[in-house]
């Protein structure tokens, strides 16, 4: 019993240290004028990852469940079809770094030349994501937060049914 408590104590310490590391990293990104990356690091690393790790620790035991080892074909088929569709979707994309790609001809030069002056933000990536695409970045953070809350609620519901 004492060994199990010691392991749990060590795992909680690792979870808390990883959360602290993520928040310190987010602060460093803010000082580097990369606020968009700081938002993502704080929400994913400091928030969702810590919550999911603590929820996982709460739902696991020190005993391994024995399964039949059966292969579920429906999830395998869904993953295979989705992967094939994603690969097929990339076939029409221009090559990486192609100077004749549309993004290199119109959008990128405008952002590089005008974004520091138009937004007042010296970091081009931050100016694009926080100023030009601010609503999109906020939407991405909302999706990440909602997904994390959904996972926590699903895991909490499963635990109640097992009790």
Report CA dihedral (84, 89, 95, 98) to the nearest 10 degrees: -160
Contact criterion met (CB below 8 Å) for 26 and 45 = yes
Q: What mean pLDDT comes out for the span 9-31?
A: 82
Residues 119 and 137 in one domain: no
Q: How far apart are CA 138 and CA 129, in angstroms?
A: 10
For the stretch 51-100, pLDDT in tens is: 777 777 777 777 766 766 666 788 889 999 999 999 999 998 888 888 88
Instruction: Please indicate, yes or no, whether the overall pTM of this predicted structure exceeds 0.75.
Output: no
User: Is the domain of 57 the same as that of 112?
Assistant: no
User: For residue 7, what pLDDT band results from cuts at 50, 70 and 90?
Assistant: low
Q: How many structural domains does the chain have?
A: 2
Is 76 within a domain? no
CA 51 to each of CA 9, 11, 44, 48, 151: distance values in angstroms, whole numbers, following the listed order: 16, 13, 10, 5, 10
Q: 162: which DSSP letter?
A: H
Q: Is 102 or 1 the better-scoring residue by pLDDT?
A: 102
What percentage of the chain reaches a pLDDT higher than 90? 9
Residue 108 CB: number of other CB atoms within 10 A?
14
- Domain range for residue 26? 1-63+133-163
- Is 78 among the domain residues? no
How far apart, in whole angstroms, are the C-alpha atoms of residue 22 and residue 51? Answer: 13
């Amino acid at each position: 019993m004492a060994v199990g408590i010691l392991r749990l104590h060590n795992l909680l310490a690792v979870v808390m240290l990883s959360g602290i590391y993520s928040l310190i990293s987010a602060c460093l990104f803010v000082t580097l004028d990369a606020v968009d990356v700081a938002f993502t690091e704080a929400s994913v690393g400091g928030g969702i990852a810590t919550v999911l790790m603590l929820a996982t620790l709460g739902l696991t035991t020190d005993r391994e469940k024995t399964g039949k080892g059966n292969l579920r074909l429906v999830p395998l088929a869904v993953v295979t079809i989705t992967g094939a569709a994603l690969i097929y979707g990339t076939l029409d994309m221009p090559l990486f770094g192609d100077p004749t790609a549309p993004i290199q001809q119109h959008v990128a030069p405008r952002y590089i030349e005008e974004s520091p002056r138009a937004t007042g933000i010296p970091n081009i990536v931050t100016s694009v994501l926080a100023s030009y695409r601010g609503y999109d970045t906020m939407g991405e953070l909302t999706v990440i937060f909602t997904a994390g809350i959904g996972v926590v609620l699903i895991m909490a519901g499963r635990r109640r049914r097992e009790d």
